[in-house]
Chain A
Amino acid sequence: MSEAGTALLEARGISKIYPGVVALDNVDFQVCAGEVHCLAGENGAGKSTLIEILGGSYPKDAGTIRLHGRVVELTSPRHAHDLGIAVLHQEIPILSDLSVAENIFLSRQPRGGARLISYAEMNRQARRWLEMIQVDIDPRTPLGNLPLSRQQLVSIAKALSLEARVIIFDEPSAVLTTAELKRLFEIINSLKAEGRGIVYISHRLEEIFEIGDRVTVLRNGKLVGTEPIGRIDRRTLIKMLVGREIDESGAGGGSKAVEGLPPVLEVRGLNRKGVLADINFSLHKGEILGVYGLVGAGRTELARALIGADRADSGEVWLEGRRLRIDSPRAAIRNGLCLSPEDRKTQGVFLDKSVQDNICLPSLKNLKGRLFLSYGKIARYAADFVSKLRIVTPHLQQQVKFLSGGNQQKVVLAKWLGMRLKVFIFDEPTRGIDVGAKEEIRSLIKALAAEGKAVIMISSEIPEILSISDRVAVMHEGRIEAVLPRREATRERLMGYSMGAKSE
């Protein structure tokens, strides 16, 4: 029990086993009234599984859950709602065509005369819950018309309307701007003051230290430890998360003086309404330009605009002194730019196709015999990259869906390597990959730069950015706030700019 109050939710010995994978192994976790209990861990550590179980989405294989001291078996999310547990998911599934109020009261709509739904009453109640968190939204607005951050606020109102005593936030900051994050923390603090128990999942250490009272770390499905925030520092937390100390000073990182190198890419005045504002920067041969920012800052949008996946409203892109007209990824690739997308599984690879097919797809026109494709050449080309990048796969025909995240990322990389491209854009290349594989990917990227390619690397992890970049661009709400040479890039400055500090 924590000092804050009685234990609202107590989970002991929770285990969950999937065929071949132990997702959770004997994990204890509890939430007390009036506290914010952070849950941390790398991807695959078991955080999501734990809250799915606590939220009633999946059954547990072992362990007990106690609510207010009484043992309960959660059979469905609805059951969990009825018991006062609400999970606010990372990707909020919503009904975009239905109104805010309808989404809040789905399947619980208040009824009036003749057991017919009373819209007046529903809207009235919705307004009440929204006001409780000081949110001014017309409950009749279709939910799909609101931006993601406001949709999230609506889901909080929904949790309140369920009179949830335990509210679990799953990586909420992903869709919020700085100001919105601040507002969220205010709301969480007031919920805390009301005696509710809050679970807050995040991999952003800054957030954990700011909002949390306690933190529980999971690693590989096991409980590493639970500590009060006051008794632990950043270094210790990282050690708990990763199992070893990581050098964050980034001394091993790129530290080339970039000024002497010829510029390969120049971007001027790139604009996209609501998303990108007046982007200007240049990229040099052999340079790794890190791009940091909170999610929502516009980094992926920038990458997509450069690659032609989304149309920019205005702006110029110059490659080696020549103005480019990029209106599709096809055009971008022809000019020497390529993208490794943020969503690797659904945009970066073809899950049902083989390793060979994935690697060779963009280069097929070079793998022909006299008239037709030569499968011999295709196999050799693919095998070459599989060995160069050390992709772990039983054979070339293996479908990519069976590869681990790290190997899938290598396949994405392999796809572009043989194509004589000049500019490589990586959007969160190490997300969702285990630590060892992350290092491998980073070395591959550094090797690219060493060969003279120009690299843009988007990442949410400051240590990663610092360890790999020659310069760091920080984005905030669609603008590039600053571009710093590595030696001037400190954690504080990066975080500052990402949250809106202006450069002098």
Chain B
Amino acid sequence: MKPKVNQLLVDYGLYFVLLALIIISTILSPLFFSYMNLANLLTQASFTGLLALGMTFVILMGGIDLSVGSLVGFSSILYASILHGAVFTFMPKEIFIYAGAPKLTPILPLPLDILFVLVVGAFFGFISGFISYRFRIHSFIVTLCVMIFTRGLAVSYTHGQPLFGMPDPVSFLAYGLPAKIPMPTIIWLGSSLFCLLLLRYTRFGRGIYAVGGGEEAARLSGIQPAWYRIFPYIVSGFFAALVGIMMSGRMGCGDPKIGQGWELDAIAAVVIGGTSLSGGKGSIGGTVVGVLIMGLIINIMNLLEIAAYPQQMAKGIIIVAALALHSVLSRRRGR
């Protein structure tokens, strides 16, 4: 392949793909550009997008976080149970069958409830990152264990049942439309901007690229890798908790089963966006485009009435295909 074309593909290929997908979507459904549809699309994408933000940090560090999906469900339950004054007890099955909306008896005032859940999510992330770093174990196995553990914990805690009753402000988080833009999208894009600034324009952010790209070189420049290695997982856990809270608002209940498979969507988005699994290479901007691309692909699959399980299959193929494509393209550049 001629170098010039190759370079064009590498630099702008993502946008071509995005454009192509938009065109395909429009062909499949003339209502594509309607407000309803776009708002819906963006809202769905925002949840994946937030998870993908955390995942970008983790993958930049050469790791992976398989636990985010479970953390979403876990945070959802944790938040709901705080609102009902029942955090530290495993309640018997009977209490979860409600007739009508129950009274809210939150343990902490509302914003603190949210803060608490976010901190717990960040803490789980910290555990993952710490164990990976301290014992030099690859994060996929550590986060796989955390994933199984927290899902098990959440489902056991509520015996598989959802916990109903959400306060209005949280519903606003999920359904609000300030300036006609869905609230989740505002949160997603705002967070993305913040993360972009962090990764690109602060020394700490560049340090993350450095430690992920070559720890030895980073050390020689005086960077101590420990916090850099652990921080991405804290971010990942934080965003997972945030999504859990928002999903609770959206569904009007805490659901331990939510989020299954969402880690795959996040990974796919990040990988499509060009972040390399070996670390040190990638960007938030790429991830954002990757999220939109994933969102469009899922939308197209729905329009084509492809069932849930074939969609899963497709996701598996997409991840591997995106990795293969980036692998081939970067080899061609002669690195």
Q: Do chains A and B touch in the complex (CB under 8 A)?
A: yes
Residue of A nearest to B333 (CB): A145
> B209 — which chain A residues lie within 8 A by C-beta?
95, 97-98
Q: Is the CB of A96 within 8 A of B201?
A: no
Given A97-B281, A144-B335, check contact A117 B214 (CB 8 Å): no
User: Would you call B210 an interface residue if the criterion is a C-beta within 8 Å of the partner chain's C-beta atoms?
Assistant: yes
Residue A107 is within 8 A (CB to CB) of chain B in the complex: yes
B213→A93 contact, CB < 8 A? no
B-contact bits for A54-85, CB 8 A (1 contact / 0 none):
00000000000000000000001111010000
Is A95 a contact partner of B222 (Cβ separation < 8 A)? Answer: no
Tell whether, in the assembled complex, residue B222 and residue A97 are in contact, meaning their CB atoms are under 8 Å apart.
no
Contacts of A145 in B (CB 8 A): 333-335
B144 at the interface (CB under 8 A from A): no
Interface residues in B218-238 (C-beta closer than 8 Å to A): 218-223
Contact (Cβ within 8 A) A77 B214: no
Q: Is the CB of B207 within 8 A of A116?
A: no
Q: Which of A79, A94, A95 has the most CB of B within 10 A?
A: A95
Question: B200 an interface residue at 8 Å Cβ cutoff?
Answer: yes
| A116 partner residues in chain B, CB cutoff 8 A | 197, 201-202
Residue among B222, B276, B333, B335 with the highest chain A CB neighbour number at 10 A: B222
Please, how many angstroms separate the alpha-carbon atoms of A143 and B207 in the complex?
Answer: 16
* Chain A residue nearest in CB terms to B220: A77
Of all chain B residues, the one with the shortest Cβ separation from A109 is B203
Closest to B205 in A: A117
A93 contacts B201, C-beta separation under 8 Å: no
Inter-chain contacts of B197 with A (CB < 8 A): 116
Interface residues of B in 290-335 (CB under 8 A from A): 333-335
- Any chain A CB within 8 A of the CB of B280? yes
Cβ-neighbour of A107 out of B200, B222, B276, B281 (below 8 A): B222
B contact patch SS: helix
Inter-chain contact B281/A106, CB cutoff 8 Å? no
In the complex, the answer to whether B218 meets A106 with C-beta atoms within 8 Å is yes
Shortest distance in angstroms between A48's beta carbon and chain B's nearest beta carbon? 15
Give the distance to chain B from A104, nearest Cβ to Cβ, in Å: 10
Shortest C-beta distance, B324 to chain A (Å), equals 19
- A170, CB-defined interface residue at 8 Å: no
Contact status B221-A78, CB under 8 Å: yes
Nearest B residue (CB) for A115 = B202
Considering the complex, give the chain B residue whose CB is closest to the CB of A116.
Answer: B201
Q: Closest CB-CB distance, B226 to chain A, in whole Å?
A: 14
Contact: A107 with B214, CB < 8 Å? no
Decide if the interface of chain A is mainly helix, strand, loop or mixed. loop
A477 interface contact, C-beta 8 A: no
Min CB–CB distance A25 → chain B (angstroms): 27
Q: Using Cβ atoms and an 8 Å threshold, which residues of chain B touch A102?
A: 206
Out of A89, A96, A106, A111, name the residue touching B221 (CB < 8 Å): A106
Asked if A77 meets B222 with Cβ closer than 8 Å, knowing A102-B206, A116-B201, the reply is yes
B206 touches A97 (CB 8 A): no
A111 / chain B contacts, CB cutoff of 8 Å: 203
> Is B216 touching A93 in the complex (CB atoms < 8 A)?
yes
Within 8 A of B (CB), among A392-431: none
* B: interface residue count bin: 20 to 34
Chain A: interface residue total (CB-CB under 8 A): 24
B193 interface hit (Cβ, 8 Å): no
**Shortest Cβ gap from B96 to chain A (Å):** 49
Partner of A117, one of B200, B334, B335: B200
**A215 to B333, alpha carbons, bound, how many Å?**
43
Docked Cα-Cα span, A116 to B335, in Å, equals 30
Q: Which residues of A contact B213 (CB under 8 A)?
A: 95-98
Q: Which residues of A contact B220 (CB under 8 A)?
A: 77, 89, 93
B201 to A95, Cβ gap below 8 A?
no
Q: How many A-B residue pairs have CB under 8 A?
A: 72
- Complex Cα–Cα for A460 and B333 (A): 32
B218 contact set on A, CB distance < 8 A: 95, 106-107
Assess whether B217 is interfacial by the CB under 8 Å rule.
yes
Output the nearest chain A residue to B217 by Cβ-Cβ distance: A93
Report whether B217 and A94 are in contact in the complex, using a CB–CB cutoff of 8 Å. yes
With A and B bound together, what is the CA distance between A109 and B221 in angstroms?
A: 12
User: Which residue of chain A has the shortest Cβ distance to B281 in the bound complex?
Assistant: A97
Contact assessment for B335 and A106 in the assembled complex, using a CB-CB cutoff below 8 Å: no
Which A residue sits closest to B207, measured CB to CB? A107
- A94 and B203 contact, Cβ closer than 8 Å, known pairs A77-B222, A145-B335: no
- The chain A residue sitting closest to B213, CB to CB, is A95
Give Cα A116–Cα B198 distance, bound, in whole angstroms: 9
Closest to A145 in B: B335
**Chain B residue with minimal CB distance to A82?**
B222
> Which of chain B's residues have a CB closer than 8 A to the CB of A108?
203, 221
How many angstroms between the C-alpha atoms of A352 and B213 in the bound complex? 28
CA distance A405 to B220 in the complex (A): 28
**Interchain CB contact under 8 A, B223 and A117:** no
How many angstroms between the C-alpha atoms of A98 and B199 in the bound complex? 13
CB distance from B311 to the nearest CB of A (A): 33
**CB proximity of B216 to chain A, nearest CB, Å:** 4
- How many whole Å from B206's CB to the nearest CB in chain A? 6
Please indicate the chain A residues that have their CB under 8 angstroms from the CB of B214 in the complex. Answer: 93-96
Is the Cβ of B203 less than 8 Å from the Cβ of A107? yes
Decide: B206 and A109 in contact? CB cutoff 8 A.
yes
B200 neighbours in A (Cβ, 8 Å): 117
Interface residues of A in 239-294 (CB under 8 A from B): none
Min CB distance B9 to A, Å, is 17
Q: How far is the CB of A145 from chain B (nearest CB, A)?
A: 7
List the A residue with the shortest CB-CB distance to B282.
A97
Please encode chain A, from 189 to 231, with 1 for each CB lying within 8 Å of some chain B CB and 0 for all others.
0000000000000000000000000000000000000000000
Could you tell me the distance between the alpha carbons of A140 and B335 in the complex, rounded to whole angstroms? 16
Cα A409 to Cα B209 with chains together (Å):
39
> Which of A81, A103, A106 lies at the interface centre, i.e. has the most chain B CB atoms within 10 A of its CB?
A106
| B202-A97 in contact (CB<8A) | no
Distance A144 CA – B209 CA, assembled complex (angstroms): 14
For the complex, give the distance between the alpha carbons of A79 and B202 in Å. 22
- Residues of chain B from 165 to 224 with CB closer than 8 A to chain A in the complex: 197, 200-203, 206-207, 209-210, 213-214, 216-223
Q: Within A363-416, which residues are at the interface with B (CB < 8 Å)?
A: none
B-contacting residues of A (Cβ < 8 Å)?
76-79, 81, 89, 93-98, 102-103, 106-109, 111, 115-117, 144-145
Jot down 27 A-B pairs with beta carbons below 8 A, ordered by A: A76-B222, A77-B222, A81-B221, A81-B222, A93-B214, A93-B217, A94-B214, A94-B217, A95-B210, A95-B280, A96-B213, A97-B209, A97-B281, A98-B206, A98-B280, A106-B217, A106-B218, A107-B203, A107-B207, A107-B222, A107-B223, A109-B203, A111-B203, A115-B202, A116-B197, A116-B201, A117-B203
For the complex of A and B, the 6 pairs showing the least CB-CB separation, nearest first, are A78-B222, A116-B201, A93-B217, A93-B216, A106-B221, A97-B281
